[in-house]
Amino acid sequence: MRTRVLPTRRRGRGDAFGRATEGIARAMGTPWFLVGLTLFCVVWMGYNTLAPRAWQFDSAAIGFTALTLVLSLQASYAAPLILLAQNRQDDRDRVQFEQDRQRAERNLADTEYLAREVVALRLAMRDMASKDFIRAEIRSLLEELDRRDAEDAGFADEPGTTARG
């Protein structure tokens, strides 16, 4: 039997890191983050400037070296997190673009089908008899019947002929 050195990832767990990076990147892009970071720096510098010298942990005389290190560390993690979030967004955009393209193809196919159906209906309507055509045909048939009746009535008046019926 083969044993695994690394545990297998469970479904959905692998995406948790990506969601977390997006959440962090989204939070870093807010005004509240900038306000909070500014307040953090002001408190840090104020404490290390105004507190008794024995309680200070970062010297203003050497340019707040620890604060600079903390901010550099934060920036060094922020950039890759933002890039990861952008890559995930690019992947989502790519999937959305593909879905939009497929939807557009289906809409185009549906539109072409409906256009063909409309053309077929127009052609079928040309072959159909209109009301005016039917009225004209009925009038001509009535006139034909009236003429025949008149002819039959004319034969009945002549001596020695019988009317056809």
Predicted pLDDT of residue 107: 96
| Of 85, 78, 91, 100, nearest in space to 33 by CA | 78
User: What pLDDT, on the 0 to 100 scale, is given for residue 165?
Assistant: 47
What is the reported pLDDT for 7? Answer: 57
Q: What local confidence, expressed as pLDDT, does residue 24 receive?
A: 87
Note the pLDDT of residue 43: 96
Buried b (16+ CB within 10 A) or exposed e, 92-124: eeeeeeeeeeeeeeeeeeeeeeeeeeeeeeeee
> Which pTM was predicted?
0.51
**Which stretches of the chain drop beneath a pLDDT of 70?**
1-14, 156-165
- What is the CB-side half-sphere exposure of residue 132 using CA atoms within 13 A? 0
User: Which uninterrupted H or E stretch holds 77?
Assistant: helix 65-127
